[in-house]
Structure 1
Amino acid sequence: MTVKRLGIQLLPQPEKVVLRFFSPGEKERIEHIIARVFTMTDREVEEELRTVIEKFDYHHDQLEEILAKNYKKISRFIFTDREPDDRRKLFIGSLFTSEYSIEAAALFNPSIVVHPDQSNLPEDSIRFILSLRATGEGHISSLVFRQGVMHKDGSIIIEDSGQRYVIPPHIVENTQYNRELFIAQLKEQRLYNIFAEALFAEMPEIFGYRRLIEAIENLREAEALHSEEFLRTLESIEWFASFNQEVYFDPDIPMDMRIISPSIVVDLKGLEDARFVKFIDDKGIPTYYATYTAYDGRSFSPQLLATKDFNHFRFISLTGKAVKNKGFALFPKKIGGRYCMIGRQDNENITIMFSENINFWNEYRIILRPKYSWEIIQLGNCGSPIETDAGWLLFTHGVGPMRHYSMGAVLLDKEKPYKVIGRLKRPFLEAQADERSGYVPNVIYSCGALQHKDKLLIPYAMSDYITSFAEVETDELVKQILKDGN
């Protein structure tokens, strides 16, 4: 079996930055900074602001918008009745703004799907979207994107806007929720009690975030005695609603200038290893889902992101007994009328999961255990299964001696995907000499591949640092899997 490395490398670019809110300390220090600004003359403020804008002019119109937003965040600390003029507000905002280098440490763990727009392409070419995990200072991981084209001859081109800054999405201010589903998820998490029941008693079938927050505040005011359980319940419901929110990008923003950072989601410190899949529902309508790992600073949990067009995204909480550990990967369609997902609940074995509802996952069973030396420590998936004539092709990763990660592959039965048809005895992709050094040495890893015609395009990360690409003939890989047997 021949695996062709394409020689393309996507390196982390420390110059890619995002503007974010910066707090230098507690309330007293913030007040001291603001007080110093009010001692400055209008001319001094104008000169300093002009210098800031000149130094950071590559952020274009976004700069003043962010400075204004960050001023609003600290405006409650203004101690005078005198309203500062717009220029002074912007200068104050600049003192509470900083650049964050999103790829300072690594750009890795890629996933790939067909782009929703396949117009204006040469014959037999395909446009794709690549998602990547970008890691910066403090090991904070965000989700970023690239757009590219794979041509008939197997060559690929990754588009680059040439901009050094990235733009976070807008948050939909009044995200809509389904009452029945919301309550069911609260019950799964054991958050539905007499206080939650009182809150939702007057809530309509479809309600908005603003309506919910208003109802929470009204209940807080109506309740004479605020017990610990009462406060915890309302805080948990508010957090849950904030987590399941919607965000959107302006469609004209280039794909490589978009970032979904953990700061978008309440209390999230990392958004890691998104595995995108183009899911086709029973009516033939596509939705792009991404299972990802949410890190809150202490623990990890698998969650879901959904989009139709890569402009508008919705965060979706996954709940149930099976929702634990890392590395979930959704099948691209229902099987036997149910959603199906690959998972891992015990750090060692690959499982398969079924559910009637994409939000709830309670049922799972082990389908693959470590067997060969290169996977003796643990097994996991490398993205969503790909449908072939022979069965579901699932890429795996194995961890062997010296914590060496490599990629293997298995075939699952098309109708009974819990049944393993064949399994590679040896990895088909592992780190070569020049791929072994990086943030985490000796690691080859992927979060998804793309099938086009008779080829499989596999983006993969080298040593948790940079991203490259490999190709393999689908039939050749499948024949080797069947030859090795189960």
Structure 2
Amino acid sequence: MTFLTVDAGVELSARADRVVARFFLPGEGTPGGSSRTQAVLDRVLALPPEALAAAARRIRDRLVDPSPMADVLQNAAMVRLPDAPHLGADATVVIGAAFTAEYSIEGVSLCNPSTVEHPDQTGLMPGQLRVLLSLRSIGEGHLSSIQFCTAVIGPGLTWEFLRRQAPPCLPAVRHGEWTRDHFLRALEHNGGTDELVDAIGQTLPNRFRGQVIEQAIQALRAPLLQRRGARAQLDAMRIVADSAYDVIFPKESELSTRVLLPVADEERQGIEDLRLVQGLQADGARYGGTFTAYDGHAISSRLLTTTDFREFAVHRLTGPPAQTKGMALFPRQIGGEHLALSRGDGESLALTRSLDGLVWGAETILRTPTAAWEIVQIGNCGSPIETPQGWIVLTHGVGPLRVYSIGALLLDLEDPSRVIGVLPEPLIEPPQDSGGYVPNVVYSCGGLLHDGILWIPYGVDDQRIRVAHVNVQRLLSAMTAPEDAGARRT
């Protein structure tokens, strides 16, 4: 902490027992390996009835919760062949379990929260506020996913994390919705602009879901399909179409049980650092957020929107700022445009604009690394927070020894390209005895203002989550003019 901030005295730590049942193909993902689906099926079907019954009994004893067993039965349906013999209950359970792997979603760590007002504010005492947090979970193979939890602020300067429910659950997934214009822009962004794209584009309605692309491909004439490189282009088109998707959790599921795992191809190695914001989104949703997707080679920023945190729409963003990590949306439009913080050059805090919230334009640099504690790089720690004096932006700075600290600056309310205040020193620094999965790191994906107090939940060492608070007027008074703080704009 610094002289401005106060530690709230609460902590949220990872729990290795938060486990989900994921679909698993033996052999897939092994270097040089291939799927062994048929061989595994044959071996299960060859088991004597008594061995099959015993194996099924052991599986049922292990999976006492109904949610994992439902996943096992669903996985059995995914691998059964159309001409396979009728399977009894025991064979179905064993086949499903053979293609299921239990995965501890936060077996490595829990970190990098963001927070917004909870949609349900009933049943509270005066001065209290219920908040909702997104959490970055890291599990086996450094695979990141997104979870949620709830906390209550107040009365007074208190913060209480509410108990997270179990077991975690996964959503149903369906194709997302595209506009024709955005799909063609996404293909162009992905490097595809030729006769195949034109032929597909001419058949698309103004709005459609991803499965329509496969129908359009099947309707193409043979000469186009036989061109050199056509197969690779069509596969790339399918990947783009599938990158937009919706997820729906069961109505009976609790918020803290819901887990967002990677779905799209560009997310296959992890989804991380959701920066939530409350404010009407382009698709009419009440909440939005950007997160970083990683495919094992490249990163990109993607959009998530929701009204109730049970149904989510996930979509591709395009434009140069979307090819990096760490975009953060403003909670409202300014001058008829959507705005976001970004970091296209990898080291400077920037501003980008969009007419539709999906296609983002060139960046305006707001601040470059200057102070010693941010000399390596700077970026945002969540979406801007509106006050009468301007937009408060929590920042992260990386300094010597790769120490991550949290700072703050102030943007003009109606012209956020103007930096009007900078905090000269860090607001939150790692503790001296810092150690964990990634030492010397404090990092947040978004704070929240309540009754004149800025609350900042943040990750420590990519290992656990703590909370700090600061009086907003004291914070603003401690800021100096950009020139005095060494900031510069272009």
Q: What residue is the counterpart of 1:273 in the other structure?
A: 273
Contact 1:340 1:355 in 2 (8 A): yes
Q: What residue is the counterpart of 1:183 in the other structure?
A: 184
Q: What residue is the counterpart of 1:127 in the other structure?
A: 130
1:242 deviation in Å? Answer: 0.8
Q: What residue is the counterpart of 1:444 in the other structure?
A: 442
Name the aligned partner's letter for residue 167 of structure 1: C
Q: What residue is the counterpart of 2:218 in the other structure?
A: 217
Question: Which segment drifts farther, 456-465 or 192-201?
Answer: 192-201
1:248 correspondence with 2:243: no
CA distance in 2, matches of 1:396, 1:29: 48
Q: Which secondary structure does the structure 2 equivalent of 1:427 belong to?
A: coil
CA distance in 2, matches of 1:392, 1:28: 52
Q: What residue is the counterpart of 2:457 in the other structure?
A: 459
Q: What residue is the counterpart of 2:30 in the other structure?
A: none
Question: Which segment drifts farther, 104-113 or 324-333?
Answer: 324-333
1:420 correspondence with 2:405: no
1:149 deviation in Å? Answer: 1.3
1:482 deviation in Å? Answer: 4.1
Contact 1:449 1:458 in 2 (8 A): yes
Name the aligned partner's letter for residue 453 of structure 1: D
Contact 2:423 2:478 in 1 (8 A): yes
Name the aligned partner's letter for residue 466 of structure 1: R
1:30 deviation in Å? Answer: 3.6
1:238 correspondence with 2:238: yes
Q: What residue is the counterpart of 1:402 in the other structure?
A: 401
Q: What residue is the counterpart of 1:73 in the other structure?
A: 78
Contact 1:374 1:401 in 2 (8 A): yes
- The answer for unaligned runs of 5 or more in structure 2 is 28-32, 486-490
Q: Which secondary structure does the structure 1 equivalent of 2:199 belong to?
A: helix
Contact 1:355 1:363 in 2 (8 A): no
Contact 2:225 2:231 in 1 (8 A): no
Q: What residue is the counterpart of 1:104 in the other structure?
A: 107
Name the aligned partner's letter for residue 237 of structure 1: M
CA distance in 2, matches of 1:266, 1:378: 25
Q: What residue is the counterpart of 1:157 in the other structure?
A: 160
Q: What residue is the counterpart of 1:197 in the other structure?
A: 198
CA-to-aligned-CA distance 1:156-179 (integer Å, 9 cap, x gap): 22222442x31111112x543322
1:437 deviation in Å? Answer: 0.7
1:331 deviation in Å? Answer: 0.8
1:63 correspondence with 2:68: yes
CA-to-aligned-CA distance 1:352-372 (integer Å, 9 cap, x gap): 111212111122111101121
Q: Which secondary structure does the structure 1 equivalent of 2:320 belong to?
A: coil
CA-to-aligned-CA distance 1:95-148 (integer Å, 9 cap, x gap): 111101111111001111111222222222111111111001100000111112
Contact 2:135 2:147 in 1 (8 A): yes
Contact 1:263 1:269 in 2 (8 A): no
Q: Report the TM-score, using the length of structure 2 for normalisation.
A: 0.92
Question: Which segment drifts farther, 194-203 or 144-153?
Answer: 194-203
CA distance in 2, matches of 1:282, 1:29: 44
Matches within 5 A, 1:379-390: 379-390=378-389
Name the aligned partner's letter for residue 258 of structure 1: R
Name the aligned partner's letter for residue 20 of structure 1: R
Question: Which segment drifts farther, 145-154 or 404-413?
Answer: 145-154
Q: What residue is the counterpart of 1:117 in the other structure?
A: 120
Contact 2:25 2:36 in 1 (8 A): no
| Equivalent of 2:93 in 80, 90, 111 | 90
Q: Which secondary structure does the structure 1 equivalent of 2:186 belong to?
A: helix
Contact 2:346 2:377 in 1 (8 A): yes
Q: Which secondary structure does the structure 2 equivalent of 1:345 belong to?
A: coil
CA RMSD of aligned residues (A): 2.2
1:50 correspondence with 2:57: yes
1:392 deviation in Å? Answer: 0.6
Q: Which secondary structure does the structure 1 equivalent of 2:363 belong to?
A: strand
Q: 1:139 to 1:149 in 2, by over 3 A?
A: same
1:3 correspondence with 2:5: yes
CA-to-aligned-CA distance 1:258-278 (integer Å, 9 cap, x gap): 110114656621101111111
Q: Which secondary structure does the structure 1 equivalent of 2:219 belong to?
A: helix
Q: Which runs of structure 1 show a deviation greater than 6 angstroms over 4 or more consecutive aligned residues?
A: none
Q: For this pair of structures, how many residues does the alignment match?
A: 477
CA distance in 2, matches of 1:39, 1:401: 61
Q: 1:96 to 1:241 in 2, by over 3 A?
A: same
Q: What residue is the counterpart of 2:287 in the other structure?
A: 288
Q: What residue is the counterpart of 1:19 in the other structure?
A: 21
CA distance in 1, matches of 2:172, 2:35: 31
Contact 1:67 1:94 in 2 (8 A): yes
1:34 correspondence with 2:37: no
Contact 2:341 2:350 in 1 (8 A): yes
CA-to-aligned-CA distance 1:366-419 (integer Å, 9 cap, x gap): 110112111111111111110111111001111111111111110111111111
CA distance in 2, matches of 1:5, 1:28: 50
Q: What residue is the counterpart of 2:367 in the other structure?
A: 368
Q: What residue is the counterpart of 2:337 in the other structure?
A: 338
Q: 1:245 to 1:100 in 2, by over 3 A?
A: same
CA distance in 1, matches of 2:411, 2:45: 68
CA distance in 2, matches of 1:155, 1:264: 39
CA distance in 2, matches of 1:126, 1:421: 30
CA distance in 2, matches of 1:342, 1:67: 42
Q: Which secondary structure does the structure 1 equivalent of 2:279 belong to?
A: strand
1:82 deviation in Å? Answer: 2.6
CA-to-aligned-CA distance 1:215-236 (integer Å, 9 cap, x gap): 22333x7447523432222212
Name the aligned partner's letter for residue 19 of structure 2: V
CA distance in 1, matches of 2:183, 2:374: 40
CA distance in 2, matches of 1:106, 1:202: 47
Q: Which secondary structure does the structure 2 equivalent of 1:429 belong to?
A: coil
CA-to-aligned-CA distance 1:225-263 (integer Å, 9 cap, x gap): 523432222212211111111111123311221110114
CA distance in 2, matches of 1:27, 1:312: 34
Q: 1:224 to 1:327 in 2, by over 3 A?
A: closer
Q: Report the TM-score, using the length of structure 1 for normalisation.
A: 0.92
1:28 deviation in Å? Answer: 7.8
